[in-house]
């Protein structure tokens, strides 16, 4: 046997093994939305379950695993996405607040998947302020993007596409799949939607959806924050005082309409100005009769709050309906093209959201409604259909999971843990017993004070460090977090242990960011401004 023959034979074996390995590695379809609260997903239950807004997502859960205790590290759009890209907390990846710009030159999981032989694509909402890196193909919404006739940015420049954003992103994702599946490389596609982000503009076909459905109110719609630390009382995210009747609800300009308001978002008003005449005519035909009814009712006080809540929640759920239809289209494509058995499908969102809970909309707080994020994973042949996991997991774990699934090395400096053992149904006795959280963006939109905290399976300790105030919740006894137990002597030992554990977590995750208490006079000024 000659040396040349031996080398040629070994080379052929290596190529054959690499091709076989590529065939065995699953494709990854990562569907991601913005502000989709778990309790607005039928499979998660909750007080909106009866509305049934998500039959396709529910089916995904029935065919895979639903993570019951899935949390974010920093409940706000851009930072959550940066954590997913890097597998590192905000203070290490450099994207702590929405005003930051992501350093795309740093290590990210798409770059590592590319090196591992994956074809990668990113379509839809990016929201990290710099061009995506690590993708063979990308086309993203500039900033928040528009619901109607949105602009998209790609390597070749910007283009405006007529239509509804959720549908357009889905179309682009399917087009990319049609052109790129069937080759030697497995794929990782990130299909990321703007919906259901503020200001909740549904597709034209859904404008009257749920009109005849009685949607319940959350039990805490009129929470007075009597037992919270003071920051909760100085927010700018209330259904009552901050959800704008016209800009957010597309309601009529009543005498008490505030055209400016605090933490106001005029993006919906601007987007309506970009609608085609046909789009605008259909929109007005759906909303104007209902707005005329409100003009006649002359509601005030709690009854006006309820009207705003019901307009808001219906539009929010209508936006989700478009997303759910997108999930159905994507899953059907996989099945129709023989990709279903070898494709992992993940559904998630950047954080939870307030659907009138505690009288709020938006996110940011470490309270359950915004801390929790949906996570549903279908992995055919690996994950048991209809399974529910209750371990404490975070968006910090996504990058590591994708890498292990791909057979790629997980860098030692990533801070999360691969979810692959959990997806395989393997018991993990050494799994984390608590999670770490840190929100930074204050003073800013919605005026949510900076805070960090720890959550275990039962307790949650929150420190609003700028105001030197604390909260403790016993989630077993008080799942709605209405009773702050921090000054309750019965919980003294729990507080002592959690305070120590919080500091250990802060050090473990190398969080050396500034957490100083503000001078008293500054605290008062910020409270008065709120």
| DSSP of 242-264 | TS-TTTTT-----TT--SS-TT-
- CATH number of the domain at 480, please: 3.30.1120.10
Domain boundary among 429, 456, 490: 429
- CATH number of the domain at 355, please: 3.40.720.10
Closest CA to 142 of 156, 157, 152, 132: 152
Q: Looking at residue 182, what is its pLDDT?
A: 82
Question: Do the beta carbons of residue 377 and residue 62 sit within 8 Å?
Answer: no
Whether residue 303 is contained in a domain is answered as: yes
Question: Do the beta carbons of residue 323 and residue 196 sit within 8 Å?
Answer: yes
Which residues are within 8 A (CB) of 125 and not within 5 positions of it... i.e. 6 or more apart?
Answer: 32, 34, 140, 141, 144, 145, 169, 192, 193, 194, 197
Question: Do the beta carbons of residue 239 and residue 312 sit within 8 Å?
Answer: yes
Both 141 and 285 in one domain: the answer is: no
Both 190 and 218 in one domain: the answer is: no
Q: Looking at residue 331, what is its pLDDT?
A: 98
What H or E segment, with its residue span, contains residue 32? strand 27-33
Q: Looking at residue 527, what is its pLDDT?
A: 74
Query: CA–CA separation, 421 vs 428, rounded Å?
Result: 8
Both 60 and 105 in one domain: the answer is: yes
pLDDT along the chain (530 residues), means of 10: 41 36 79 98 88 94 98 98 98 95 97 98 97 98 97 97 98 96 92 98 98 95 96 95 96 86 95 98 98 95 97 98 98 97 98 98 98 98 98 98 98 98 95 98 93 98 97 98 98 98 98 91 75
Both 91 and 229 in one domain: the answer is: no
Percentage of the chain exceeding pLDDT 70: 95
Strand order in the sheet with 435-439: 435-439, 451-455, 459-464, 469-474
Both 40 and 103 in one domain: the answer is: yes
Whether residue 23 is contained in a domain is answered as: no
Query: CA–CA separation, 205 vs 219, rounded Å?
Result: 31
Domain boundaries, position 382? 28-198+338-429
- For tokens 């929109």, the residue is 283
Query: CA–CA separation, 376 vs 54, rounded Å?
Result: 13
Question: Do the beta carbons of residue 189 and residue 182 sit within 8 Å?
Answer: no
Question: Do the beta carbons of residue 343 and residue 26 sit within 8 Å?
Answer: yes
Both 194 and 211 in one domain: the answer is: no
Q: Looking at residue 181, what is its pLDDT?
A: 85
The residues pairing with 71 across neighbouring beta strands, listed in sequence order, are 372, 394
Whether residue 133 is contained in a domain is answered as: yes
Domain boundary among 376, 410, 429: 429
Both 147 and 191 in one domain: the answer is: yes
> For 102-136, what is each residue's pLDDT tens digit?
999 999 999 999 999 999 999 999 999 999 999 99
Q: Looking at residue 11, what is its pLDDT?
A: 37
Whether residue 63 is contained in a domain is answered as: yes
Both 81 and 190 in one domain: the answer is: yes
Question: Do the beta carbons of residue 399 and residue 106 sit within 8 Å?
Answer: no
Query: CA–CA separation, 151 vs 160, rounded Å?
Result: 4
Both 227 and 171 in one domain: the answer is: no
Whether omega for the bond prior to residue 443 falls within 30 degrees of 0, making it cis, is yes
**Domain count across the chain:** 3
Whether residue 325 is contained in a domain is answered as: no
Query: CA–CA separation, 447 vs 232, rounded Å?
Result: 9
Query: CA–CA separation, 82 vs 99, rounded Å?
Result: 13
Whether residue 8 is contained in a domain is answered as: no
Both 101 and 211 in one domain: the answer is: no
Both 181 and 47 in one domain: the answer is: yes
Domain boundary among 378, 395, 429: 429
Q: Looking at residue 530, what is its pLDDT?
A: 57
Q: Looking at residue 46, what is its pLDDT?
A: 83
Three-state secondary-structure class, residue 234 = helix
Q: Beta strands 65-67 and 375-378: pairing type?
A: antiparallel
Whether residue 352 is contained in a domain is answered as: yes
Model pTM?
A: 0.94
Whether residue 16 is contained in a domain is answered as: no
Both 169 and 58 in one domain: the answer is: yes
């Amino acid at each position: 046997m000659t040396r040349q023959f031996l080398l040629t034979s070994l080379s052929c074996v290596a190529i054959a093994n690499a091709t076989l390995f590529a065939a065995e590695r699953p494709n990854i379809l990562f569907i991601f939305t913005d502000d989709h609260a778990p309790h607005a997903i039928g499979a998660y239950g909750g007080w909106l379950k009866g509305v049934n807004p998500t039959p396709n997502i529910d089916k995904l859960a029935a065919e895979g695993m639903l993570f019951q205790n899935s949390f974010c590290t920093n409940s706000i759009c851009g930072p959550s996405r940066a954590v997913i890209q890097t597998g590192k907390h905000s203070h290490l990846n450099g994207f702590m607040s929405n005003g930051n710009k992501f350093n795309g030159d740093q290590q990210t999981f798409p770059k590592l998947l590319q090196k591992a032989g994956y074809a990668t694509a990113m379509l839809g909402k990016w929201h990290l302020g710099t061009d995506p890196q690590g993708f063979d193909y990308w086309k993203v919404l500039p900033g928040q993007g528009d619901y109607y006739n949105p602009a998209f940015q790609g390597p070749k420049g910007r283009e405006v596409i007529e239509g509804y954003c959720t549908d357009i992103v889905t179309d682009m994702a399917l087009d990319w799949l049609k052109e790129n599946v069937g080759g030697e490389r497995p794929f990782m596609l990130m299909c990321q939607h703007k919906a259901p982000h503020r200001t909740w503009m549904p597709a034209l076909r859904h404008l009257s959806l749920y009109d005849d459905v009685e949607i319940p109110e959350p039990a805490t719609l009129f929470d007075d924050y009597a037992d919270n630390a003071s920051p909760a009382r100085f927010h700018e995210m209330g259904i009552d005082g901050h959800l704008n009747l016209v800009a957010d609800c597309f309601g009529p300009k009543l005498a008490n309409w505030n055209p400016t308001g605090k933490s106001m978002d005029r993006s919906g008003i601007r987007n309506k100005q970009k609608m085609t005449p046909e789009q605008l005519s259909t929109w007005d035909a759906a909303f104007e009769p209902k707005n005329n009814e409100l003009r006649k009712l002359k509601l005030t006080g709690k009854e006006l709050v309820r009207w705003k809540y019901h307009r808001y929640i219906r539009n929010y759920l209508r936006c989700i309906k478009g997303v759910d239809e997108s999930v159905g289209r994507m899953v059907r494509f996989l099945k129709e093209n023989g990709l279903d058995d070898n494709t992992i499908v993940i559904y998630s969102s950047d954080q939870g959201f307030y659907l009138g809970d505690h009288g709020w909309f938006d996110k940011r707080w470490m309270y359950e409604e915004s801390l929790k994020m949906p996570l549903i994973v279908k992995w055919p042949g690996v994950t048991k259909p209809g399974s529910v996991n209750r371990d404490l997991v975070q968006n910090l774990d996504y990058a590591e999971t994708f890498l292990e699934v791909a057979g790629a090395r997980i860098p030692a400096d990533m801070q999360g843990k691969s979810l692959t053992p959990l997806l395989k149904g393997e018991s993990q006795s050494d799994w984390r017993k608590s999670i770490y959280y840190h929100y930074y963006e204050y003073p800013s939109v919605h005026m949510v004070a900076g805070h960090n905290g720890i959550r275990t399976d039962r307790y949650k300790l929150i420190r609003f460090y700028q105001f030197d105030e604390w909260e403790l919740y016993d989630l077993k006894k008080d799942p709605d977090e209405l009773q702050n137990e921090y000054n309750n002597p019965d919980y003294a030992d729990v507080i002592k242990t959690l305070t120590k554990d919080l500091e250990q977590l802060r050090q473990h995750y190398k969080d050396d960011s500034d957490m100083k208490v503000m001078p008293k006079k500054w605290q008062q000024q910020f409270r008065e401004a709120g």
